[in-house]
Structures are given as C-alpha cells and as structure tokens.
Structure 1
C-alpha cells in the first residue's frame, strides 16, 4: 500500500506547538528514508511477514545525479531474491573496467571482467528506476506500507528508548510507534541529528561538479577518468548521455564559479578534446550540480530502539561508486540479524550492536581504500599538477585484481538469509 501526502504541510500544522495528530499508527519497524538501504530493508522484512512502514520525505524518487551504480555484490543479492533477471530488463549500461586516460597512456585501475561472478560488471542503472522496482516488489506483500512526502521532525522517546517518529505531511502531524526505528535517510540524515549521534570525519581533498553531455555512437563504452593539465574529468556511460564529473580541489567551487562558465568549458575540453563539438550544450550553471565530497562514520550506529544504516551511518566518498552497495549490504545484514527479534517484538541493544559489528569493519576498510586513492591520485594532480602515476598496488601483479574485487564485491560477501 502506498500513501501519498503533500510534501509541504499546511502553515497551521507547522505553527501548532501542540502537534495535533491527524492519525497515529503502530508497526513493528518504521524505516525513515526511501533510498537503496531503506527500500531494500523494507522489502526484506515485508517478505518475512514483518509489518514495516517506509517513510520518504519527497513525493517521488527522482533526484538528479544520485548514485546509479549497481555492483556485482548487489546483483548477487538480487539473484538470491529472484529479482536479478527482471532488474536487468530495465535499460542500463555495463561498465566492465575503470580506466584512467592521460596524454601519455591509458591505465586500467579495475577490471571486473576477470571476477568469478555471474555479473562481472557494474550496471549503470538510474537510481529512480531501481527504487521504483524495489518498492513495487515490496508492495506485493500486505505488511508493507510506503508513505511519500513524510517529513520526519521528531523522535518519540520514552524511558530512554526510541518508540517511533512524528512526521509532517498531509496537512498535519502524524505519529508512528514502532518496535524498531531505522534511520536510512542519507548523508544529511535527520535521524542522525535528532538522535545526537557523534561522527568521525575525514577531509577528502576534493569536490565534484556533475553535469551531462550528449554521448555519440563512436564514443567508448563504460566509464573512465581523464587526467591532464592538472584537472580530472570522470565520464560515466548513461546510454545516450555522458554523466560528467569535474573534480576540483576542496573549497574551490566559488573561485571556479567566479571565473565563469566559459573557463569551465575550456578546462574540460583541455582534458577531453573530443568534447569540443558538444561542450556548448553546457550553457548555464543551472545544469551543474555541486557535490561537496564528505567521508565519515558515526561511532555508534544505534541507540535503544533506533538503528542507523547506509549513508546515515557512514558517508562514503564517491571513489569507486560503492555507497549504494554498502548501504544495501547494511540492509541485508540488518534484516538477517533483526528479523527474528522483530517477529518476537523484542529488539535488544545487543541485536543492534551485532549489525554494527558485522558492518563496521568493511566500512572502515573501504573508507581507508578510498582515502588511499584520493591521496595517491587526486591530491597530487589537483594540488601540484603532477603527472599521473599509477598507485603502487597496480604495479604488483599479486595485488592487481585487488581494487576490482574490493569495489565489486566488498570486503566480505553478504547473503540473504531466509
């Protein structure tokens, strides 16, 4: 069942300090955030007959420049759910390698075609289509409910235990009481803030400007990075378009903006000359999305009655495009660990701690790997205009497949338990 409520509540509802409740519901699990982690967790719980309500703040799933990479690890999870073949019927592109091209040569950073998996590639699938697919599948189960336009504002806390949330939408306040509340509401997590979680942050040396340009039939397929003139351009195959990422030093956006759009176009063509015939398609700053790159994780992913997963628990750098996949792996582990306690309607703090215990080490390892790539590749090029040198591990035959395995499959395999 899907309930749609307006994204903006009435002024009377906002101004009313008494929080007159339009309706109150109870459920076993309330998930806040309809991204990949929240949607997959809701599906996994609903499949087991566990009542679950999924709250999404927006009125649809369509957001520009969201992560669109479905890695082999997630495809294997989809296969275990019997959904892989139908998912791949949606329009998508396949990235079998990650390459970096410089004026001197081309270096392969990761080759997925060598992996022992039925899905030796990254599927480039629009996230909006993936989320619609997962939630439509979840709607086949009577214990699943999706509420769009639900703007969560408060946690319900009694005797030190989180008992649910209050959200605005549909012209007023609504209340959901739950055995377990899960925060899966992304890098700007409202529940992380409301719950008072403390984060451990790193300082990635870069930010990214995202935009799109037409892709021509003679262009190479897949994805690649282009390096030259002290600049880095990322190109991701979106079928008829390239999703372009222009990497800039941290904090350099305002300076670039002041230099003007023509200067940006010139810099892009300097690195990727074949775009000269279509760079004019980038004609307004409104076509450019600015991403402030962050990397962090919370110290504790849980409080009594409340668990954080995905970007709410750990914000990933875009290096390797692994954020979606680690979020979905979080969801699978959470479902594996918590399904029985939820069926018993008794989720202990030790159950929530077990989810973090299984997922924290893989998160630490991939964030360390991303930091290494940023320091080995991005920092020298962006700050000193140095010539690109392949990371040391690519020069060791025994480690050559390590980046592909880590990006594609994660640190430890995660499987759906039934």
Structure 2
C-alpha cells in the first residue's frame, strides 16, 4: 500500500479526465432511453476491459481458495425480507413483480443467494472457512439525479464473495482478503488509496442499522485491531456501515478529485441468525458462522470508470481493447497484413488492419489517438524480408523483427500483465 505514514493519508491518484468525456472518444459503453437510465450497454471496447478484469480476479480467487457459484438475478420477496434488505434497504430496490400471486424482486446484492447455498445442508466446522465467489449482476434503484456515467448506475456487476468462518478465523481471513486487494492493485498499477473504517451511528434516527449495540462495538473493534496490527493508516466514518455490520472501504480519488469507495470488506455479525445459518462444531453442537462480505473491485462499472480516468484511455497492453493495429502502406501489402493479422488473432491477440485509402501519416496518427498499444507498418521491405516494423505507444523507435518473434513477445507480455 502507498501511504503517507506521517499523516495516515495517501496522495490522490492523478487522473484529470472524466470517463464520460473519454467515452465519447473511445466508446466503452452506451445508455439508451429505450432501455432506461442507469442501465449501461457495454460496447466491445468496454466489454474487453470488464472481461480482462474478471479473468484477473478469477485467477486470484482460485489461488485464494474460493469456489465459484452462480445464482439468479431475482428471488421471491420473502428472501429479501428475511435477509433484511427489504426492512433496511427497500428505498434502493426495484419494486415488486407480481406473478401467479407471488411477489418477486430484482436482487440488490448477491449475499442472500449465497446464504441459501451455505444453508442447503448442515455444514461441518471442517468446511470452514467456506469462500463462495460470484460475478453477480445486481439492480439498485438510484435516484435519477444521482446517476452519473458509470459511477452511479442501476444495473451493475459486482466482483462479489462471501466467506463463512468462525470467530477465531476472522482476522486471518480479512488479512488474506487485503493481500488479494494489494496484489490486484499492484497488477493494475494502483498505488494511491486510503482506508476508511465505516461504522454504525447509534444516534441515527433512520434506524438503518441492525439494533445490536454490543455486536456493533465488538465487530468494529475487530476491524480496528486488524488495521492497527498491520500498520495500515485509516480514517473512521460513523454512519457509513452496511446495515448488518461494519466495513473497511478502500477510497480512491477520481479524475474530478472526488473520493469514492471502489472496494470493500465487511464483517457481518447479524445475517447468520437472521438467515438461520449454522454449522456443527467439534463438540457436535450447532454454531453460527460469521460472514465476511468482500468485493476487491466493487462494481465493474465504477471500477472501469476509475481505470478509464486513471489511464486516460491509454490502457496497458493486457487491458487495451485494441492491442495491435496493422497499417499497410498500399493495396499490394494487404495480403501480407492479413496473414499477420491471422497469426496474431489466432493467438488471441486483439488486432485489426487499417485498409482505408488514406495517407500513412494520417492512419498512424489516428491509431495513436485511438490509444492502440502497438502499431505495425507494412511496406515493400517488410513483405520482401518477411519482417515487421513495430512501434509501441509512447515509444520513439520502430523495431524490426519477424512476425513469430513479435507474437511470442506479445503473448509473454500479455500473460505477465505488464503495466
């Protein structure tokens, strides 16, 4: 983590461009009135970024001992009454759908569904910690005035997981969660962020928190001890907890200077009882688990918005929607360009050929404006020598090499996720 140990704060990430402005240039997503406000359509360039992030997190979660699950986007209303979402979170949920005398709701979170997976049979303490992960689409009815590009939407995909564990396992599990966060941020080139301990507010007249003062004090102290024991500077924020427990939020500054939560880890002390979750302990007795909710990348929508601004649209090779653009100088070079495209395409490199009748300088300039990572120019010499002339975005030199060597170089750098 990159912190200023003296004052416990991190420098803001410098990203001066608004993701909405960059979207106008590069077409990552689209909103359409016929679909509805806050419900983004992911265009090809944006979908690439989403999928690459998903690949990264699935790898880290596999190494971290998570098991993948998948659950429906809707459920009977009774599920969300039992979980507490309707009592505490109704204002942010879509209204009920009446079907065959039953009421259904679009899910605002995945946790009730995961709780049902946990409770499908009585678990043994030997199965804990049980880590269930899902890329879950959820729906939240944000007010129209709060919607803002990808920052505030009504349909979002969460990098979600729930860890069911014992009290003695909580600290170690949360530490492992933060180690995963640090690795993901390292790969993504993110070094500037702050931690916030989000607590309940016992004086809040809205009653948006589970009423159990003793458990709130205990859970907040557990998170505080984890932060202190690891030397992680943090701020405290009363009233920012989830309704079922306190959390640690990771705050990052966006291009407009506004600070937002992009990742979270939450300690849930109330849902196990509410959802009647139990396991059998060593003494053969039923015991309630604690639940850790965690989302290293939060929602893809908000995290992609941050990355667009962080990189100003110029993504590293492994994240770049268009990794290579081939620019043949004339018509006689198109056949060689197409062979090169197939060589790279069949190796799963994102590559295109610019066959337009335009000047070479214009086509190269437009490739750089589109934030393509590598540009290959094909002329007579390249065809005759079975070579390519490749230039990296931001580089001054054009490097000559054979196509197979370039392909292997690309595959290695993509695999390593170099920044």
Higher relative contact order (CA 8 A, sep 6+): 1
- TM-score interval (norm. to shorter): under 0.3
User: In terms of Rg, which structure is larger?
Assistant: 2
State the TM-score, normalizing by the size of structure 1. Answer: 0.24
